[in-house]
């Protein structure tokens, strides 16, 4: 047992004694309170027994006192008054334990059996008061009772009085517990103080002793620099000062003994190779690291000519150099070596293997200047090469050109097939672009789906641009599927006439955007006017973002006519933009921009609410001419939203339009992006009662098989099938087959793009049930359409 344990043991013994004293005091207080409660209860019971056996105190001197013992009614009144005034429950029994009086009248006349230990009978026999715990079905925890003998005036025991003393016991014990709590709290504080004092004192002493023992172990391990605090004037402090003096003496002695061995150990275990060269130029000393770096070992280095070992060194001259060091196994390492001459002694050569460091630096430079996905140069490296090419071009006069490429439709592939498929497509596109260029040309990935091509002294810029269009237009094999994308190319053929590389890249970017606006899958050569077009595009985007909030969008309806009667059965909701600067704009002038910037979702939602509200109002005001349904187009971006179903339900609820009066149109391409997810989303919409239509059927995947897999209700044949229908028997057979298949599947078939009477007559002859087009009615505001629908639409 150490000193700390002994000290703590003594203080803990004191604490235990204090705790024991507190517990004894607790028990003594409890016993005293119980005795006091019992004695007080017995005194009260004896007074009651005297009232019952002798009689109550006389109010007048001439009053005759009759013992309650002989008057059951008087006894009952007495017991009830005791209950009401003093809240005491009393039972009076005779010498045979028969109950004479009880607050519960049902028990009178019965033998009292609440004393499990027969305390009542024993009290009647020996005249001694007793306490017991009455138990029963109504009080399983028991009732504390005191029983006292009841004697007559003649001194004979005639029965007993049983008094519940719980009302006396509990207050007394409550007061006692408060005192006991104070006692235990005081004891706990004393114990805490004793333990705290013991811990502090023991900690102080043992800490100083531990410091000394730790210092001794440290000195034994060979570290003579360790010292201990020597504060205090007691025996431990004097011992600490003596120890420090001894340690200082040992440290001085050890420093002298270990100086030479310490130096040798440093040289032998250094991570860098260290060689000592004698005045004759031969290696006289080499450590393990030098032997490992050179591959010769320590023995192979000794007495070797240093000049032969370091062939790139021009003599043993001071300085730091770097070079490849051949090794006996045929490999070579890149080393950095420093030569330090020592007068009249020779020189010291320090070797460092920097092979991995240089490889890492090379990798970092490559990563900083190349795209991690494709391995192509990135924007930074492109700008650097473009700057150098501009400088050379201005000196030599050779032309240089820059192409800026952006893939068309890449986002669709990335969203439908996944990011891994998108990455594969980008790598394949990079390989294809590299394959159509010369070795001296540079193709770089600028980010996302954007690439750039730098051509120095090209034979034909247009030829390279066309080659890029053709190679990207070929289908891509992506995870077992074919994906088709195109590319828009902006060309700056005379880059040297611009100020710097940033301006060249910016102009090529502007030309690329012009190519996209011109229809995509083409190249355009930069012209100065394109800057103005780009600014106009940015201005158009800004104004389009505010169009919904400013109330500039307009809802137009195009009738869908049932054939052959010509009645308007439904209408397709279309949007127009009342641009304050350019007037009423058709969808083709702003919908592509809205889809590109994400504004299409807000426009879609506006159309949905307005179409539902307009048709519902029309149905209420003029049910005879109102369309039975309205079709609303949904974009791909809107279909991707998780709250699409909730938003459609909200539109129906707020406008009051019945769900079966709403048809949502989606193109084949949008539906087929992810068939499993699309089917679930469309089924949710159909469960609302909304109908689903395939718009522009035949322009996307052109597969009739998927009609059984996608929950749809309406099939809209694209206008491209109607153009040239008259006089083309093969095309007529195709359209007829599509209509028959749709009818067989229970779908409503609507033919779009009916432009003249001949087309309409032919469709009627083919059994077409619904049609729409300019010949049947142009898109127009709802109020104008209502005014025209007083007569059936012409069908001839």
- Please determine, for residue 1, whether its predicted confidence score (pLDDT) is greater than 70: no
CA distance linking residue 589 with residue 609, whole number of Å: 22
Report which of 226, 234, 227 is spatially closest to residue 205, judged by C-alpha positions: 234
Phi, psi angle pair for 467, to nearest 5°: -60, -40
Query: What mean pLDDT comes out for the span 483-511?
Result: 91
Cα radius of gyration (the chain)? 54
CA distance linking residue 784 with residue 770, whole number of Å: 22
pLDDT at position 796, please?
42
- Please determine, for residue 37, whether its predicted confidence score (pLDDT) is greater than 90: no
Tokens at 787, concatenated:
């005014």
Report which of 599, 629, 602, 614 is spatially closest to residue 555, judged by C-alpha positions: 614
- Strand order, beta sheet including 346-353: 283-286, 273-277, 346-353, 332-342, 319-326
CA distance linking residue 690 with residue 663, whole number of Å: 6
Element (DSSP H or E) covering residue 393: helix 379-396
**0.85 exceeded by pTM:** no
Report the mean per-residue pLDDT for the chain. 84
pLDDT tens digits for range 402-460: 999 999 988 878 877 788 889 999 999 999 999 999 999 999 999 999 999 999 988 89
Tokens at 83, concatenated:
């209950």
Tokens at 404, concatenated:
């800026």
pLDDT at position 794, please?
44
- Please determine, for residue 793, whether its predicted confidence score (pLDDT) is greater than 50: no
Query: What mean pLDDT comes out for the span 630-638?
Result: 87
Tokens at 715, concatenated:
């099939």
Element (DSSP H or E) covering residue 677: helix 675-687
Q: How confident is the model at residue 13 (pLDDT cuts 50, 70, 90)?
A: confident
Q: How confident is the model at residue 41 (pLDDT cuts 50, 70, 90)?
A: confident
Count other C-beta atoms under 10 Å from residue 365's C-beta: 11
Find which of 110-124, 392-406, 663-677 is predicted with most confidence, using mean pLDDT. 392-406
> Which residues are CB-contacts of 179 (< 8 A; sequence separation ≥ 6)?
29
pLDDT at position 25, please?
79
Kindly report whether the peptide bond that precedes residue 564 is cis, defined as omega within 30 degrees of 0.
yes
Report which of 682, 734, 685, 740 is spatially closest to residue 715, judged by C-alpha positions: 740
Query: What mean pLDDT comes out for the span 309-324?
Result: 72
Q: How confident is the model at residue 264 (pLDDT cuts 50, 70, 90)?
A: low
Residue 626 or 79, more confident: 626
pLDDT tens digits for range 282-306: 888 888 888 888 888 888 888 888 8
Q: Which of 140-144, 381-385, 509-513 has the lowest mean pLDDT?
A: 140-144
Q: How confident is the model at residue 57 (pLDDT cuts 50, 70, 90)?
A: low
- Please determine, for residue 63, whether its predicted confidence score (pLDDT) is greater than 70: no
- Please determine, for residue 81, whether its predicted confidence score (pLDDT) is greater than 80: yes
pLDDT tens digits for range 755-792: 999 999 999 999 999 999 999 999 999 999 988 886 54
Residue count of the chain, please give it.
Answer: 796
pLDDT tens digits for range 171-221: 877 878 887 788 788 878 888 887 787 777 767 777 777 777 777 777 777
Q: How confident is the model at residue 152 (pLDDT cuts 50, 70, 90)?
A: confident
């Amino acid at each position: 047992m150490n000193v700390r344990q002994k000290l703590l043991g003594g203080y803990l013994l004191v604490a235990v004694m204090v705790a024991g004293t507190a517990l004894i005091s607790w028990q003594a207080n409890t016993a005293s309170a119980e005795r006091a409660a019992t004695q007080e209860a017995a005194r009260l019971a004896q007074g009651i027994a005297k009232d019952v056996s002798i009689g109550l105190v006389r109010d007048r001197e001439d009053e005759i006192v009759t013992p309650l013992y002989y008057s059951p009614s008087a006894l009952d009144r007495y017991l009830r008054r005791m209950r009401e005034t003093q809240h005491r429950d009393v039972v009076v029994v005779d010498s045979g334990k028969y109950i004479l009086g009880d607050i519960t009248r049902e028990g009178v006349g019965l033998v009292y059996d609440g004393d499990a230990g027969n305390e009542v009978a024993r009290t009647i026999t020996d005249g001694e008061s007793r306490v017991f715990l009455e138990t029963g079905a109504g009080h399983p925890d028991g009732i504390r009772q005191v029983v006292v003998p009841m004697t007559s005036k003649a001194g004979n025991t005639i029965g007993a009085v049983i008094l519940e003393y719980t009302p006396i016991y509990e207050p007394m014990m409550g007061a006692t517990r408060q005192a006991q709590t104070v006692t235990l709290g005081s004891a706990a504080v004393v114990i805490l103080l004793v333990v705290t004092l013991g811990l502090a004192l023991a900690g102080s002493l043992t800490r100083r002793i531990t410091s000394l023992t730790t210092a001794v172990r440290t000195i034994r391990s060979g570290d003579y620099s360790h010292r201990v605090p020597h504060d205090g004037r007691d025996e431990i402090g004097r011992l600490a000062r003596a120890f420090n003096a001894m340690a200082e003496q040992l440290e001085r002695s050890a420093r002298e003994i270990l100086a030479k061995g310490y130096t040798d150990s440093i040289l032998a275990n250094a991570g860098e190779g260290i060689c000592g060269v004698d005045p004759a130029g031969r290696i006289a000393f080499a450590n393990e690291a030098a032997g490992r770096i050179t591959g010769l070992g320590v023995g192979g280095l000794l007495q070797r000519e240093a000049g032969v070992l370091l062939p790139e060194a021009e003599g043993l001259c001071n300085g730091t150099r770097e070079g490849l060091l051949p090794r006996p196994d045929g490999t070579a390492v890149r080393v950095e070596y420093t030569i330090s001459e020592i007068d009249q002694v020779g020189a010291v050569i320090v070797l460092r293997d920097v092979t991995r460091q240089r490889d890492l630096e090379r990798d970092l430079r490559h990563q900083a200047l190349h795209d991690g996905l494709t391995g192509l140069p990135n924007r930074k490296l492109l700008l650097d090469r473009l700057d150098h090419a501009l400088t050379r071009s201005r000196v030599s006069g050779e032309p240089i050109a820059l192409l800026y490429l952006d893939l068309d439709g890449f986002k669709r592939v990335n969203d439908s097939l996944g990011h891994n498929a998108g990455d594969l497509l980008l790598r394949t596109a990079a390989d294809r672009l590299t394959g159509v260029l010369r070795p001296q040309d540079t193709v770089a990935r600028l980010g996302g789906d954007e690439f750039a091509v730098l051509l120095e002294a090209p034979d034909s810029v247009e030829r390279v641009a066309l080659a890029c269009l053709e190679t990207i237009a070929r289908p891509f094999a992506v995870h077992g599927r074919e994906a088709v994308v195109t590319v828009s190319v902006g060309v700056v053929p005379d880059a040297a006439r611009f100020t710097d590389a940033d301006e060249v890249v910016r102009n090529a970017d502007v030309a690329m955007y012009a190519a996209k606006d011109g229809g995509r899958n083409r190249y355009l050569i930069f012209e100065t006017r394109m800057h103005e077009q780009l600014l106009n595009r940015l201005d158009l985007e800004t104004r389009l973002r505010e169009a919904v909030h400013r109330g500039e969008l307009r809802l137009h309806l195009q009738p869908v006519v049932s054939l052959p009667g010509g009645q308007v059965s439904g209408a397709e909701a279309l949007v127009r933009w009342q641009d304050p600067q350019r007037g009423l704009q058709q969808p083709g002038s702003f919908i592509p921009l809205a889809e590109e910037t994400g504004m299409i979702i807000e426009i879609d939602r506006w159309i949905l609410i307005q179409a539902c509200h307009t048709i519902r109002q029309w149905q209420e005001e003029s049910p005879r001419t109102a369309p039975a349904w309205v079709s609303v187009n949904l974009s791909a971006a809107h279909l991707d939203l998780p709250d699409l179903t909730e938003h459609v339900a909200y539109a129906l609820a707020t406008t009051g339009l019945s769900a079966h009066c709403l048809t949502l149109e989606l193109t084949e391409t949008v539906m087929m992006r992810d068939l499993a997810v699309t089917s679930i989303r469309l089924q949710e919409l159909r469960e609302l009662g909304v109908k689903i239509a395939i718009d522009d059927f035949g322009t996307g995947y052109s597969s009739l098989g998927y009609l059984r897999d996608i929950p749809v209700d309406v099939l809209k044949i694209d206008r491209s099938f109607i153009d040239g229908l008259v006089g083309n028997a093969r095309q007529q057979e195709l359209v007829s087959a599509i209509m028959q298949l749709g009818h067989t599947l229970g779908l409503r078939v609507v033919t779009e793009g009916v432009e003249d009477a001949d087309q309409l007559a032919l469709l009627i002859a083919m059994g077409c049930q619904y049609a729409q087009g300019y010949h049947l009615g142009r898109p127009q505001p709802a109020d104008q359409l209502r005014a025209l629908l007083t007569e059936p639409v012409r069908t001839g």
